[in-house]
Amino acid sequence: MSKLAQAPVLALHGISKGFPGVQALSGVALNLYPGEVHTLMGQNGAGKSTLIKVLTGVYTPDAGEILLEGQAIHPTSTLDAQNLGISTVYQEVNLCPNLSVAENIFIGRYPRKLGRIDWASMQQQATALLERMQIRIDVTQPLEQYPLAIQQMVAISRALLVSAKVLILDEPTSSLDEKEVDLLFSVLRGLREQGMAILFVTHFLDQTYAISDRITVMRNGQLEGEYLCSDLSRLELVNKMVGAPAATPDSSAAESRPVAGVGQQLKSFLRTRGLGRKGALTPMDLDIHEGELLGFAGLLGSGRTEAARLLFGADKADTGTIEIDGKAMSFHSPRDAIAAGIGFCSEDRKHEGAILELSVRENLILALQARNGLLRAIPMKRQQQLAEQYVKALGIKTASIETAIGTLSGGNQQKVLLARWLATDPKLMILDEPTRGIDVRAKQEIMDYVSALCRKGMSILFISSELPEVLRVSDRIVVMRDRKAGGEYPRGALDETSVLHVIAAGDTAGESAHA
């Protein structure tokens, strides 16, 4: 349309940014035009957040330039970027919850009267500003009394007040429900009519198609392409985000495993019915059998981690029942789940897994020790034995078992955390993105080890964003999408293309009825 004829208000050329050990961005380009909603999409590790940080001055790019209305800019901080006209609204609204709505909008630029703050004028203006976005609320109430969606509107208002030229919304909908998303989108449409250039970052497919004019897809730090929304089908989009089906590097590992479900009725280890939590997971049913490797496929944010946390007792479920070996259980804390034989390797190993200053050995035996309790300390000899055993088995590269885990590379940290749970000899092992951010060789080692465990009777719930991986090793696959269970498929029923179909389109033919 005629939009493309105008000059872009924000243009990025050849942006590269590297960190020790990883090239986060290479040669990325982006064009943002006034009066459009432009969505930036990509999987985890694609470089979206790094790109945003470059735009907002948190990082300085190693190469490339940023042009705002044709002028090169070099923002050095978020404030700097804001003053230049690039305003960002984050998922965690960066406002002061204790102050009123009006104050949050006007702080730092209060209207004054005779030297004092003119409250009346401020409240009037705030009301008017919000009115323009079709929101009528009492601006004198503290911000925290309002739901997150409204808080984001207030953040947007503030951004507008600073007369932004570019509005960036970084994953604003992750904590919103459907009605709130509609509200946000109608505001965005209104802003678009007024000529604002909006860069929208999200991983929800439906939302992308609901609001975008154009889409930029990133993968592995590179620009995959820039498309008009109407020119790109969902399937193509998912394809581009995830990458064309890779040549399976080593399918022997998976194929050599006996396909469990064939001809045998597997014993059920865990059954859950209606497991759900408001704002995190729509109630779903799940069966996990003994010795089964169940894969959770889906894009980031589809609810896989949320489901796993509910199963582990890390979060409390609002609805649903869990049965283990036929006995009803309720998990109030991870301890309960651990006692029932479940282990959980979190996806956020830095904040939820590794205790950085402690040694490899200490991190490794931690869960086992916690289960043993306070008084029955594991003798040092045994601790060392266990640690050495797993270091060898998993190929952990560390100077010694006494080195602090914080000095190990990501892959090796992951292996230690995996060993932590393996040491408890769990019946069900939940692995949430165990191979993220790890080099190819370590990935292979971990997956091989995990598959071997399954053969020995351990159940595994394997969550990964890498489709080829999930397809290769799983006995069954559950596809998750936008926080709902999408469908369940036995091995062989799906290949990459069909999974993408399911992810892209949701309910589809081929969804097998599950018990």
Partner 1 sequence: MSAVMNTPTASTPKKTGSMMSSPYFTSLVTVALLVVLLVAGGAAYPGFLSVQVMLNLLIDNAFLLVIAVGMSFVILSGGIDLSVGSVLALTTMVSAWMLQTWHAPPVLVIGVSLAIGAGFGAAMGAIIHYFKLQPFIVTLAGMFLARGLCYLISINSISIEDPFFVAMSQTQIPLGEEAFISPGALIAIVMLVGAIYVAHCTPFGRAIYAVGGNEQSALMMGLRVARTKILIYAFSGFCAALAGVLFSFYMLSGYGLHAQGTELDAIAAVVIGGTLLTGGYGYVAGALSGVLVLGTIQTLIAFDGTLSSWWTKIVIGGLLFIFCVVQRLMAMGAAKK
Partner 2 sequence: MHSPVKPLGGHAVASAPTNSFVSMIVQHHLFRPLAALALLLLVDLLLIPGFFHVEIKDGHLYGSLIDIANRAAPLILAAIGMTLVIATRGIDISVGAVVAISGTVASTMIGGTMVMNNGVPEYVANTPMVWAICAAMGAALLCGAWNGFLVARMGLQPIVATLILMVAGRGLAQLMTDGQIVTVYYQPFFFLGSGYLFGIPFSLYIVAAVFIVTFLLMQKTALGLFIQSVGINPVAARLAGIKTAVLIFFVYVFCGACAGVSGLMISSNIKSADANNAGLLLELDAILAVTLGGTSLAGGKFSLAGSVIGALIIQTLTYTIYSIGLPPEVNMVVKSAVVFLVCISQSAEFKNMWRRAFPARKKGNAQ
Interface residues with partner 2 (CB under 8 A)?
20-22, 312, 314, 333-335, 338, 344, 346, 351-358, 362, 366-367, 369-378, 399, 404, 406-411, 413, 420, 439
* Least distance between partner 1 and beta carbon 136 (Å): 5
The CA distance from 272 to 278, in Å, is 17
Q: Which stretch binds partner 1 (CB under 8 A): 6-14, 91-99, 212-220, 243-251?
A: 91-99
Q: Which is nearer to partner 1, 70 or 115 (CB)?
A: 115
**Within 13 Å of residue 500, how many CA atoms lie on the same side as its CB?**
19
Chosen residue from 183, 311, 447, 450 binding partner 1 by CB under 8 A: 183
Specify whether the CB–CB gap between 52 and 168 falls below 8 A. yes
* Least distance between partner 1 and beta carbon 104 (Å): 8
Site for partner 1 in 446-465 (CB under 8 A): none
Q: Which is nearer to partner 2, 1 or 399 (CB)?
A: 399
* Least distance between partner 2 and beta carbon 335 (Å): 5
Residue 345 binds partner 1 (CB under 8 A):
no
Q: Is residue 80 exposed (0-12), middle (13-18) or buried (19+ Cβ within 10 Å)? A: middle
Q: Which of helix, strand or coil describes residue 171?
A: coil
Q: How far is CA 120 from CA 112, 404, 469, in A?
A: 10, 58, 60
Ramachandran angles phi, psi of 6, nearest 5°: -75, 165
Residue 87 binds partner 1 (CB under 8 A):
no
Q: How many residues bind partner 1 (CB under 8 A)?
A: 37
Chosen residue from 5, 71, 136, 163 binding partner 1 by CB under 8 A: 136
Q: Which of 347, 354, 423 is nearest to 384 (CA)?
A: 423
User: What stretches of 90-177 adopt beta strand conformation (E)?
Assistant: 112-113, 116-117, 166-170
**Within 13 Å of residue 383, how many CA atoms lie on the same side as its CB?**
19
The CA distance from 384 to 405, in Å, is 15
With CB under 5 to 8 Å by kind, the binding choice for 215 among partner 2, partner 1, none is: none
Specify whether the CB–CB gap between 364 and 343 falls below 8 A. no
Q: Which amino acid, one-letter code, is at 343?
A: G
* Least distance between partner 2 and beta carbon 414 (Å): 11
Specify whether the CB–CB gap between 408 and 363 falls below 8 A. no
Question: What is the enclosing helix (H) or strand (E) of 345?
Answer: strand 342-345
With CB under 5 to 8 Å by kind, the binding choice for 354 among partner 2, partner 1, none is: partner 2
Residue 194 binds partner 1 (CB under 8 A):
no
Chosen residue from 6, 60, 76, 145 binding partner 1 by CB under 8 A: 145
Provide the binding-site residues for partner 1, judged by CB under 8 A: 78-79, 82, 94-99, 103, 107-108, 110, 116-117, 134-138, 141-142, 144-147, 149-150, 158, 179-180, 182-183, 185-187, 210
